[in-house]
Structure 1
Amino acid sequence: MTSATERLPRLLALVPYLLSRPGIPIADAAADFGVGEQQLRKDLELLWMCGLPGYGPGDLIDLSFESDSITVTYDAGMSRPLRLTASEATALLVALRALADTPGIADTDAVQRTLAKVEDAVGQARPAGVVVGLEGRGGAVAPEVRSTVQEATTRRRALRMRYYTPSRDAISERTVDPMRVLLIDGRNYLEAWCRSAAGVRLFRLDRIDAVEVLDEAAQPPSEAEPTDVSAGLFRPTPDQSVAELELTPDARWVAEYYQVDELVELPQGCARVRMRYSDQAWMARLLLGLGGQVRVISPPELARDVRQRAEDALARARHLPST
């Protein structure tokens, strides 16, 4: 017996499908939908009883399928295929891109083909300001990084890498012993024992600038325990401050690249976010780099710091020789 969850998508697609193929043989239509002819006839009989509110003569879908072919004589407005909304398309594309970037996927080509088809179907329907996928600023994982990390984890080899830490706005050289690769909240992480920090660390793959496999075995010490990520990766601490920001569409990449506690959609593709930070100087530099694409709602001391730094920079610029 066909379940309702299997039948409903087929019923929604049948009318526009039949409108584009008037007189199609029942056998051909059944084959296209992957059902038997008897099931397809049951679907057509149900569609006969569907239509516009009022459900009287002239309101219901009208089909002819007495012979071996099908013709729609009244579509009751169901003339276009079902389309994804912007939010549905965004969620699907993000999930597919995360899947494509995950090391160890058996059939990456199939995922990429599906991704291309969905992107093509979405076309220009995506509104400005909607961040689709993980490719935003710093969000894409370089293929050579992904393959190198996968090789080292599989072969249990140590890695030397150059890694960017945004909270300190610093790049460091590290030697690590890989433990596993994780997919958390749509992002890929390498969990490894960091020899310089003498502890287990999670490294986002899109923040690895360069990496190489070393000719030595990965040997995490016995005290290296896997990180518990069942309750989420990021846990707020009492000493962290929280900034409330309004981002324009061009600055929405911030909510993709950095962890935010809350994101509220605003008109014209803008967004309001709550973002935790430990170092006010680092947060001020980030906001100054965004220029007019961000507004600080709170805390007031952060807004004053950003304003003062901007005024100081303008004052120094006035003394520069003109070119």
Structure 2
Amino acid sequence: MSASRTERLLNLLLALLNTKVGLPRSILREKVYRDSAENDVAFGRMFERDKVDLRQFGFEIETLTDPQNFGVDDPATTRYRIGKDSNRLPEVSLTPAECTVLLLAAQLWERAALGTAAANAVRKLQAAGGFTDVDLPAGVQPRIKPAGQAFDDVVAAMHGRHPVRFGYLAVSSGREEVRDVEPWGLGSRFGQWYLVGLDRERAAKRLFRLSRMTSAVTVLTGSTFEPPESFDVRAELDSLNELPVQHATLDVDRDRLLPLRKRANSVTPLPAGSNRDRLVVDFRDPEQLAEELASYGPHVLVVSPAELCAAVVRRLQGALDVDAVPSVPLQFPDAGRAPRARKRTSEDQLARMLQLVPFLVHHQGLHIQEVADHFGITRKALIDDLKILICSGLPEGYPDDLLDIQWEDDHVYISEHLDLNRPVRFSEEEAAALLTGLAMLGDLPALAGMAEDQPGSALESVTIKLTGAAGQAGRLAGSVAGQSVAPGQSQAFATITQAIRDGQQLHLKYLSRQRDEVTERDVDPLRLYSLDDTWYFEAYCHSKTGIRNFRLDRVEALAPNGRHVTGSATAAEDFPARLFTPSDDDVLVVLQLTRQGAGLADDYYAERTAPMPDGGLLAEVRFGNAEWLPMFVSQHGGSVRIVHPEQLRKGARAWLDAALAQYDSASDSPAG
């Protein structure tokens, strides 16, 4: 849809909103379409397409006929209009505590699927004037870990009610199979994301772990389906039993892999000359443990069970196979980073305009750059929007019938809004993002004591208000469910939260997986954040004289050291919190990501990206320690390869060869 079509759709919407008796086609063609249609047939086709587009935004177009011609389908006398309250977001008045809870819920999706939808939903509330600017409690930022491109594709298919096709590693047979599935719901349990739907070949409901998908998801847009009435993915996931505990037997290099050793049930030295110990480790999900073990490369050998061994070998072999793919040209767009998401369209622009007008009505006089930043667009893009808006209005075409917006001295004012003073209702994705996020916050300690009456009442009240405002759009919310983001390390969480509030330093003992050792540090805590149920805290580390990020589940001891923070760094320098803090010593690495692994560009804050013809990405990423790269490639086996520098690619290749060679040797001899 071109910019001219955007303007035409906006004019058509304004015309149909601002008529009581309706407008006939003749007036619409003359005043709205003007020279767009060459003849009546072309106009008719354009008008029907435009009506469909407006319905996609939720505007129901009423068709009125002349009483004298009742029962006669006469296009010449048929009139059209849109009710004043059609698709208007209802009034939602929120207290500061409710705004805080809602902002936490929206930011859960910040770097994950539904992130754009959550941001749009909050902007609609701000545009309606019912949202108060608030500060998050003690710098807390819970977030959902991006679940990969598969999550995005399945959500899009659920929204459009299209089946999906993907390769899947069957649990029963251990073989890869192609599945065609009607996606009814997505949810997280036990640290894994599940798809619930109808397996068409088996004609039965099935649950699929996204981590076991072996190919990209294909949305079958040529087919549709209807999910069961009142389907609730939470109820489906509640029926899941956690996988049983199994025991893994691992041969590990002596004096290596301290994180693995610390959770081992037993450690037995192997006979002299092997320089290895045999560990027995509990696990539930072989795919989850295989991801970790693959990252250890040649430093660990899986002795049993066979399923775990096969999962590790599959990852290592996948990494080697991808490395063997012919090199691609190292070409990046001059503008820098390219978006991973779909190309922005004029539909996006029109949707933004329907938020922009009411936002300006309730926020008169803002600086133009502040408005652009609020909508996440450039100043030029905002001015392009404003230029279309000031040329849009009612069919009569008089100056008083146009939207009246001025931005003199770089401050934006609006004096005529033509009944676009309220944003449109939440879309299904927007409602799902907020309502699902609110459901995941239930046990978050930071919410305690925030509400006026009792802990949790702000969460309950804002959920009720948002459910009412969402209306029918809340349907998709019942099809997406995450798990609680409450931290398992509640005592450490409370200690860090209190230290942030009081401005106190902390002394900690920390198990570093990268260094394979326990270190002691004094830090200035800045903020807490999570990816799913894994919590981190960002702090200024005095021994490293820089900002570092620490996983709570690797903190062995934590207590105030009696000193005040130095103020050497503040959380405001980088928002949101990042798992990886760039420095001048970083190594710049160019990675080739498959379509399945394209989300790693976001996870690792790629500085530049370029799309690949197969849906993958070329990404330039900073790594603080080049020695970690072989672990990275092994962990994400089959989804990423190193393109440049060449010596790092060769190093990772040698690491993978050595890791796989020991499994070849093990197959030639009985297990010890």
Sort the TM-score into its range (normalised by shorter chain): 0.5 to 0.7
Name 2:32's counterpart in structure 1: 50
- Report the counterpart of residue 137 of structure 1 in structure 2: none
Gap change, CA 1:243 and 1:303, over 3 Å in 2:
same
**Cα gap change, 1:281/1:217 in structure 2, threshold over 3 Å: closer, same or farther?**
closer
Deviations 1:165-186 (A, max 9, x none): 68657775655343x4499xxx
In structure 2, the residue matched to 1:245 is 591
1:92 corresponds to which letter in structure 2?
Answer: T
2:523 counterpart of 1:176 = yes
Shift of 1:220: 1.1
- Structure 2 runs not aligned, ≥5 long: 1-6, 58-112, 124-134, 145-152, 165-215, 218-339, 343-432, 434-482, 530-534
Question: 1:92 aligned to 2:92?
Answer: no
Deviation per CA, 1:108-142, whole angstroms, max 9, x where unpaired? 9xxx9xxxxxx998553699587899xxxxxx994
Closer/same/farther in 2, CA of residues 277 and 160 from structure 1, 3 Å limit: same
* Cα distance change on mapping 1:152 and 1:304 into 2, 3 Å: same
Of 641, 650, 663, which aligns to 1:304? 650
Cα distance in 2 for residues equivalent to 1:103 and 1:228: 12
Q: Could you tell me which amino acid in structure 2 is paired with residue 220 of structure 1? A: V
CA distance in 2, matches of 1:170, 1:96: 44
Q: Once the two structures are superposed, what CA deviation does each residue of 1:67-95 show, in whole Å capped at 9, x if it has no partner?
A: xxxxxxx6345324347xxxxx8661474
Pairing 1:103–2:136 present: yes
The question of whether the paired residues in 2 share the 8 Å contact of 1:160 and 1:174 is answered with: yes
Counterparts in 2 of 1:277-316, with a 5 A limit?
Answer: 277-316=623-662
Q: How does 1:114-193 map to 2 (within 5 A)?
A: 122-124=156-158, 142-144=485-487, 148=494, 149-156=496-503, 159=506, 168=515, 174=521, 176-178=523-525, 180-181=526-527, 192-193=539-540
Contact 1:157 1:217 in 2 (8 A): yes
Residue identity in the other structure for 2:652: V
Q: Is the 8 A contact 2:505 2:565 kept in 1?
A: no
Q: Contact conserved, 2:536 with 2:552, CA < 8 A, in 1?
A: no
Which TM-score applies when normalising by structure 2? 0.29
Candidates 533, 538, 541, aligned match of 1:194: 541
Give the paired residue count.
254
| Deviation for aligned residue 1:200 | 5.3
Alpha-carbon distance in 2 for matches of 1:218, 1:176: 10
1:197-224 superposed Cα distances (whole Å, 9 cap, x missing partner)? 27452537xx443679857766113x63
How far the C-alpha of 1:281 sits from its partner, in A, is: 2.2
State the partner residue of 1:24: none
Matched, 1:260 2:242: no
How far apart in 2 are the matches of 1:96 and 1:164? 39
Kindly indicate whether the alpha-carbon contact (under 8 Å) linking 2:591 and 2:643 is maintained by their aligned counterparts in 1: yes
Q: What is the aligned-residue RMSD (CA, Å)?
A: 5.6
SS of alignment partner, residue 302 of structure 1: helix
Deviations 1:208-266 (A, max 9, x none): 43679857766113x635478389985552x5432211112332343233232212222
Ranges in structure 1 where 5+ consecutive residues have no aligned partner: 1-6, 19-29, 31-38, 63-73, 84-88, 113-118, 134-139
Alpha carbons of structure 1 residues 153 and 13: separation in structure 2 relative to 1, 3 Å: farther
Partner of 2:568: 224
TM-superposed deviation, 1:273? 0.7
Amino acid at match of 1:50: V
CA distance in 2, matches of 1:253, 1:169: 27
Output the CA distance in 1 between the equivalents of 2:574 and 2:642: 33
Match of 2:549 among 193, 203, 213: 203
Displacement of 1:301: 1.0
SS in 2 for 1:267: coil
Mapped partners of 2:497, 2:601: distance in 1: 27
The verdict on how the C-alpha distance between 1:224 and 1:297 changes in structure 2, with shifts beyond 3 A counting, is closer
AA partner of residue 633 (structure 2): L
How far off is 1:104 after superposition? 3.3
User: Does the residue aligned with 1:315 lie in a helix, a strand or coil?
Assistant: helix
Residue of structure 1 equivalent to 2:248: none
The separation in 1 between residues aligned to 2:627 and 2:497, in whole angstroms, is 36
Residue 79 in structure 1 maps to residue 47 in structure 2: no
Identity %: 18
State the distance in 1 between where 2:122 and 2:658 align.
42
| Pair 1:297–1:228, CA change in 2 (3 A) | same
Q: Structure 1 residues 141, 162: closer, same or farther in 2, change over 3 A?
A: farther
